[in-house]
Amino acid sequence: MASVEFIQKRIDGKKAEIQKLEAKMARIEKAKASNYEENNPYYYSDYDFRSTTRELELAKTALADWESKLSEENNKAASRDVPAINEFLDQWERRCIEFYLDAYQKYIIAKGEMRDEYRRMGEELEELGRRAQWDKEDPNYEAYHELDKKREKMWKDFHKDWNYVIQFLDHSKPYEEYMRHIVAEEKKRKYDFLVERICAIVGTITDATNLRVGQKGDLNGYIIGTDGEATVETIGAGGYNDNIILDSGRHGQIFHYRTIIKRRK
């Protein structure tokens, strides 16, 4: 999602571009008045007139699009800092961090066990003999390749099962630091997503005092905006949720939620 500052820079850039194009067009029109015989130091022609007209139209269309986006972002900004939504997502963030810190400790233990087994199977392969790796006449050929496939599958399955922890193993940063950063970024995205859905129904939020966070960490109530009212209901649970980037794997369950937002009659 583009920030207000980013959009404003694009607007300023388009305005400057339009200003230059309009100045160019004024020079072209001045030359065109004399059929390009006078006041034409840049050797303009009808081609320049057509291409500059096209560039101006595109620049003005782009400016209108950026100004529309700025209006949308300002509308969202007016609906920021809803206490109940912040409290709701603060709880979600805490649960995520607790889950991933606990999962990391389990991962370290599981990784050690996997490495020991992987090493043991490697030693067993050596006992079967190197010749068994390529000589089909060797009596250990099938046993060797069956064990080798099993060993490689074990490694792949381990990474697949523990991907929800491995995704935070950025070697340039400690696990916890990087994990907390990613969770915090996801929290911001979730806030924007919730506000966008609410604003699509009620417009700019004017009253969110009837929104509450329950004992189970669920967000419920109704919200009032410039275009009407909407009920908000969240259903929280453990388990995998395809709509978030932080999955749980099969070794644990991370708290996720489904939010239902409807126009209030």
Question: What is the pLDDT at residue 238?
Answer: 53
Contact between residue 96 and residue 185 where contact means Cβ atoms under 8 Å apart: no
247 and 136 in a single domain? The answer is yes
Question: What range defines the domain where residue 65 resides?
Answer: 4-77
Question: What is the pLDDT at residue 80?
Answer: 63
Question: What is the pLDDT at residue 236?
Answer: 67
Task: Give percent helix, percent strand, percent coil of the chain, each to the nearest 5.
Answer: 60, 10, 25
Q: Is the pTM of this model over 0.85?
A: no
Q: Quote the CA–CA distance of 247 and 87 in Å, as a whole number.
A: 22
DSSP H/E element including 221: strand 219-225
Question: What is the pLDDT at residue 61?
Answer: 96
Question: What is the pLDDT at residue 165?
Answer: 92
Question: What is the pLDDT at residue 192?
Answer: 85
55 and 169 in a single domain? The answer is no
Low pLDDT (below 50) residues in the chain: 239-252
**How many domains does one find in the chain?**
2
145 and 53 in a single domain? The answer is no
Angle between helices 83-128 and 175-202 (to 10 degrees): 140
- Asked which of 27, 62, 77 is the last residue of a domain, the reply is 77
Residue 109's Cβ-count burial label (10 Å; 0-12, 13-18, 19+) is exposed
87 and 72 in a single domain? The answer is no
Per-residue pLDDT reduced to its tens digit, 139-155: 999 999 999 999 999 99
Question: What is the pLDDT at residue 218?
Answer: 82
